[in-house]
Amino acid sequence: MASLPPAYQKEAEMVRQRIYVDGAGWSCSEEELPFLSLIQEAVWQGKKIVLRYKTDEESKKRNVSPLGLVAKGKIWYLVAKYEKEFRTFRVSRIVEAKLGDSFERPKRFDLEKYWKDSTQNFLSKIPSYPVRFKIHVSKIDFLKNISYIRILKYSKITKDWIEVTADLETREWALHHILGLGDSVVLWEPEELRESILISVRKILDSYSKNL
């Protein structure tokens, strides 16, 4: 940026502080983003956004000061100030949004630094439980959209099956989702999870046989 003519350096810095592209992807899914253009407008114009944000449990109304947008893979995140704290909002979970009043941007805020620090802090708190399995091609899109599953890699091994390595965070969470996919998935690793699945399936069969 220092090589730019002085007249353009200020403009380039303004862009750097409002848009950041994180090349390290962690999801393969595409999302609907009905309010992305409005959020972009708010970021550039320095206007607050009155939005409704949906989590897994509920949706809440918030009045935020948008500071920048981060693109990570195909996922967009809004970085904003909310109640004196810097917060990160997944744009696809914003279900309502409208422009609000103008606000004064924090002078020392650095979007790239905030994102890297926030990401590192987030990842350090996530439990890890890697699994390897094959899944039917008809279920891969469903798998990609399950919250808290990080697909590390996948490749098609036959016309109907895809090999997947993913992090499902905990053994209990992995057991829940693998069982839920039924015969559309075949688990390979870890062995302890395979044993847990067999025990669960036997219990289910036993329960049904007693009630015939």
**CA distance readout (Å), 177 to 47, 107, 136, 149:** 41, 45, 14, 10
User: In the structure encoding, which two tokens stand for residue 9, read together?
Assistant: 């350096």
CB 139 within 8 A of CB 186: no
Going along the chain from its start, the domains and CATH numbers come out as: 6-125 (no CATH), 130-210 (3.30.70)
pLDDT digits (tens, 9 = 90+) for 67-96: 999 988 788 999 999 998 999 999 999 999
- Average pLDDT of adjacent 10-residue blocks, the chain of 212 residues: 51 61 57 90 95 87 95 90 94 95 93 91 84 96 84 94 94 93 96 95 87 64
Closest CA to 81 of 70, 91, 73, 89: 89
Q: Specify the pTM.
A: 0.56
Neighbour tally for 200: CB within 10 Å: 14
Res 13: pLDDT = 57
What pLDDT score does 135 carry? 97
The predicted pLDDT at position 23 comes to: 63
Residue 120's alpha-carbon distances to 61, 93, 95, 116, 152, in angstroms, are 28, 22, 27, 6, 17
